[in-house]
Amino acid sequence: MNPVKTIFLDRDGVINEDSPDYIKNWAEFHFIPGSLHALARLTRSGCSIIIITNQSAINRRMVTLNELKQMHRKLGRAVSDSGGRITDIFYCPHRPNEGCGCRKPKPGLIFAARDRYGIDLSHAVMVGDSAKDILAGQAAGCGRTVLVQTGNGMTAIQTLEETGQRPDHVAADLDRAVQWILDRPSASP
């Protein structure tokens, strides 16, 4: 039995294609091949999926909160139609210079999810495509961190190596990350 119960996922660059111009509406939201299948596999294995995402486009006034929530409803429906289930989505609306505690690499969003759902973070996994995702997972005390090479993954590998921080695993994409997670008996070291 696999005691991993919670998988934290970044959104842009992990589930859907990222854009330097931000994802501002559903028409710009394009699933990375294999990501819907990966989410369905996690759901079938009994894992809770929680998205942890920086969405500074809100405070940059590029997207309204209602537009973001509409995108997330459509995301949830698409995942559900593919056999998966997203438990919740936590987002930070702040720009990098606003000094909040919820913007990754700070662990505030993960802590908020932990508090809401009673999550044992030592058995949780953070999956992301950026150094910020990996650092947030490590700072929160997640049992494992996985970097995917989609999105900003290749840049993140270099950034993490320069700082001496390393994810527990590097995978080509979310589908391969899920395979690695499900093949491991426990997230605890």
Active-site residue numbers? 10, 12
* 173: nearest Cα among 58, 24, 37: 37
Which of 2, 8, 7, 20 lies closest to 152, judged by CA? Answer: 20
